[in-house]
Amino acid sequence: MYRSSFLREVRKEKYERSDAYDELRGSPEFDSLAQARGLENLQELNERFASYINRARVLEQRNTILRKQLETFQRMDELVGLDEAFAGQIEFNRQRMRELASDRAKLEREEKDAQRMLDEYRNK
């Protein structure tokens, strides 16, 4: 029995509270208070929205910077690849220079021999 009367009292209190809310709701004080809270809520939401916009701008700027860095690194990788691509050509050219230097030395010796033979022939 006690339990049912307690529940009845709780329900009655709920209805009484809702009646008090309805009475306050029509008063000018409540309206101005609700309007002030609504304005505060709007200002808070506006500030949060502005912070999200600023955060998005910062992230876009970082993204732009990172894209430029990525492009730079990719170009550097291409340049490193060029070194490897031309390494064979460079080695071939070095070998060719050694061969030409050897041929030159041989031709210079032949020239000296020919010059000496010419001098010997003239002196006879």
Query: What's the whole-model pTM score?
Result: 0.40
Handedness of CA 19, 25, 29, 35 (dihedral sign): positive
pLDDT in tens, 4-45: 666 666 566 655 555 555 555 556 665 676 777 888 888 999
Residue type, 101: A
Backbone angles phi, psi at 26, to 5 degrees: -85, -15
Per-residue pLDDT tens over the stretch 60-73: 999 999 999 999 98
pLDDT digits (tens, 9 = 90+) for 70-124: 999 888 877 777 777 788 889 999 999 999 999 999 999 999 999 999 999 888 7
Q: Are 32 and 25 in contact (CB under 8 A)?
A: no
